[in-house]
C-alpha cells in the first residue's frame, strides 16, 4: 500500500516536471517580461520618505487648577502623562479640518499634490491625498504617532513637526473660547459684588458721620456713662448721653443689619475674587497639551517603494497566473481531443 502511494506521488511529481519542461519557453517569456516590466515600473515610482513624531498627551486640567490649588487635596499633577481618554482626544484634534487646512495652506499642498484648483472636487482630492500621506495612530503605550510620507524628506519632517505644534494651537483656541466666556461671566459677578460692597461701605461711612461707630460697644459705654452721670447728678452730661442714645436707637438697627450684610458680602467678594483670578489665568495662560518624545527629522532612506518586493511579487504573480492559464488551456485541449 505504501509502495503504491509512493509510486503515485513520484508519478505526479514527474508529470509536473514534464509539464513545466513542456511549457518552459512560454513560462520563461511571461515571467521574464513580468520581471523586466515590474523592475522598470518600480523605478518610475517616485520614492517616498517617512518622518515620524511621537507625542504623549498631558493630563486634562485647567491652568488655574494645575498651578494654584492644593495638589494634595485635589490629587492633580500637571506633570503627569495623560491616559487613554486624553490620547483619544488628541487623535480627534489631529484629525480635525483645522489642522489639515492649516498645513495645506502653509505647504501649498494643492499644488504639491498636483490637484487642479479649478476642479470642483479639489477639496475631496486634497483630503484623500492628505489622509493617504499623513496618518495618526495611538500606540500600545498610550502615546500618539504622527507619520508623514512625502517625496521630499525635508518637507515630510517639517510637516510632521508643524502638525505636532498645531495640536497645542488648536487645543488652546478651543480652550480660549470657553475660558473667555467663563471669564466674562465671573468678571461680571465680581464687579457687581464690588459695587454692592462699595455701596454698603458708603452707607457705613454715612452712619459713622451721624455718630454710629460700633453699636454694641457704644451702647455699653453710654449705659455705663449714664449711670455714672446720674450718680454724680451731672445733668448736662446726662442730656448729652441721652441724645447719643437716641441716635443709636434711631440708626442702630440699620447699623447692625448693614454690618452683617457687609460681612457676608466681603466674604462672597473674596470667594468671587479667587474665581475671577482663576478665570483670568485660564484665559491668559496655557499649559502645553503634549510631551514630544521624538521630533521628526529628514529621512535618509526612502520608505516606499520597496523595489525588490514589487519585482518579486509581480514576477511570482505573473508566473502563477501563467501556469494556471496554461494548465486550463492544456486540459481543455485534452477534453476536445478525447471527444
Chain segment 257-274, per-residue pLDDT in tens = 888 888 899 889 888 888
Contact between 244 and 211 (Cβ < 8 Å): yes
CA atoms within 13 A on the CB side of 241: 18
Residue 170 has which C-alpha cell? 488648536
Same domain, 265 and 328: no
**Phi, psi angle pair for 298, to nearest 5°:** -60, 125
Same domain, 269 and 197: yes
Same domain, 312 and 271: no
Question: Does 246 map to a domain?
Answer: yes
Question: Does 195 map to a domain?
Answer: yes
Same domain, 209 and 278: yes
* Total of domains in the chain: 2
Same domain, 239 and 314: no
Res 284: pLDDT: 74
Res 319: pLDDT: 82
Same domain, 203 and 277: yes
CA atoms within 13 A on the CB side of 256: 11
Q: Does pTM surpass 0.75?
A: no
Question: Does 322 map to a domain?
Answer: yes
- Which residues are registered as beta bridge partners of 81? 58
Same domain, 219 and 279: yes
Res 123: pLDDT: 92
Chain segment 78-126, per-residue pLDDT in tens = 445 445 678 888 899 999 999 999 999 999 999 999 999 888 999 999 9
Residues 153-175 as b or e (16 or more Cβ within 10 Å = b): bebbbbbbbbbbebbbbbbbeeb
C-alpha distance across the termini of the chain, in Å: 34
Which residue range forms the structural domain that includes residue 331?
A: 1-45+305-339
Residues 59-78 as b or e (16 or more Cβ within 10 Å = b): bebbbbebeeeeeeeeebee
Question: Does 250 map to a domain?
Answer: yes
Question: Does 22 map to a domain?
Answer: yes
Question: Does 271 map to a domain?
Answer: yes
Round to whole Å and give the CA distance between 2 and 13: 17
Same domain, 324 and 253: no
Which parts of the chain have pLDDT scores under 70? 1-14, 42-45, 60-84, 215, 219, 222-223, 225-238, 241, 244, 304-307, 334-339
Question: Does 69 map to a domain?
Answer: no
Look at residues 124, 132, 59, 60 and name the one whose alpha carbon lies nearest to residue 97: 124
Same domain, 339 and 264: no
Same domain, 214 and 261: yes
Question: Does 333 map to a domain?
Answer: yes
Same domain, 253 and 331: no
Same domain, 190 and 268: yes
Res 104: pLDDT: 94
Res 72: pLDDT: 46
Amino acid at each position: 500500500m505504501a509502495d503504491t502511494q509512493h509510486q503515485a506521488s513520484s508519478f505526479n511529481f514527474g508529470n509536473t516536471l514534464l509539464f513545466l519542461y513542456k511549457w518552459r519557453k512560454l513560462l520563461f517569456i511571461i515571467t521574464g517580461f513580468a520581471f523586466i516590466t515590474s523592475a522598470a515600473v518600480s523605478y518610475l515610482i517616485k520614492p517616498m520618505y517617512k518622518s515620524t513624531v511621537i507625542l504623549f498627551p498631558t493630563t486634562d486640567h485647567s491652568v488655574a487648577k494645575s498651578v494654584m490649588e492644593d495638589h494634595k487635596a485635589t490629587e492633580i499633577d500637571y506633570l503627569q502623562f495623560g491616559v487613554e481618554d486624553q490620547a483619544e482626544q488628541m487623535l480627534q484634534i489631529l484629525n480635525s479640518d483645522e489642522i489639515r487646512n492649516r498645513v495645506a495652506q502653509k505647504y501649498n499642498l494643492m499644488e504639491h499634490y498636483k490637484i487642479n484648483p479649478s476642479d470642483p472636487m479639489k477639496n475631496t482630492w486634497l483630503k484623500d491625498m492628505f489622509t493617504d500621506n499623513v496618518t495618526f495612530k495611538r500606540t500600545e503605550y498610550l502615546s500618539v504617532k504622527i507619520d508623514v510620507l512625502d517625496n521630499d524628506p525635508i518637507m515630510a519632517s517639517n510637516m510632521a513637526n508643524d502638525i505636532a505644534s498645531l495640536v497645542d494651537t488648536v487645543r488652546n483656541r478651543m480652550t480660549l473660547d470657553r475660558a473667555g466666556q467663563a471669564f466674562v461671566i465671573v468678571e461680571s459677578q465680581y464687579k457687581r459684588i464690588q459695587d454692592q460692597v462699595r455701596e454698603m461701605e458708603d452707607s457705613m461711612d454715612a452712619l459713622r458721620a451721624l455718630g454710629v461707630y460700633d453699636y454694641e460697644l457704644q451702647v455699653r459705654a453710654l449705659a455705663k456713662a449714664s449711670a455714672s452721670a446720674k450718680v454724680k447728678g451731672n445733668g448736662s452730661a446726662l442730656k448729652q448721653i441721652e441724645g447719643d442714645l437716641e441716635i443709636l436707637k434711631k440708626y442702630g438697627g440699620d447699623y447692625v443689619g448693614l454690618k452683617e450684610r457687609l460681612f457676608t458680602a466681603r466674604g462672597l467678594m473674596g470667594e468671587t475674587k479667587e474665581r475671577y483670578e482663576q478665570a483670568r489665568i485660564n484665559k491668559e495662560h496655557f499649559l502645553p497639551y503634549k510631551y514630544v518624545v521624538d521630533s521628526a527629522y529628514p529621512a535618509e532612506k526612502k520608505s516606499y517603494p520597496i523595489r525588490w518586493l514589487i519585482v518579486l511579487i509581480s514576477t511570482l504573480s505573473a508566473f502563477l497566473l501563467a501556469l494556471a492559464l496554461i494548465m486550463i488551456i492544456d486540459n481543455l485541449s485534452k477534453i476536445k481531443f478525447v471527444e
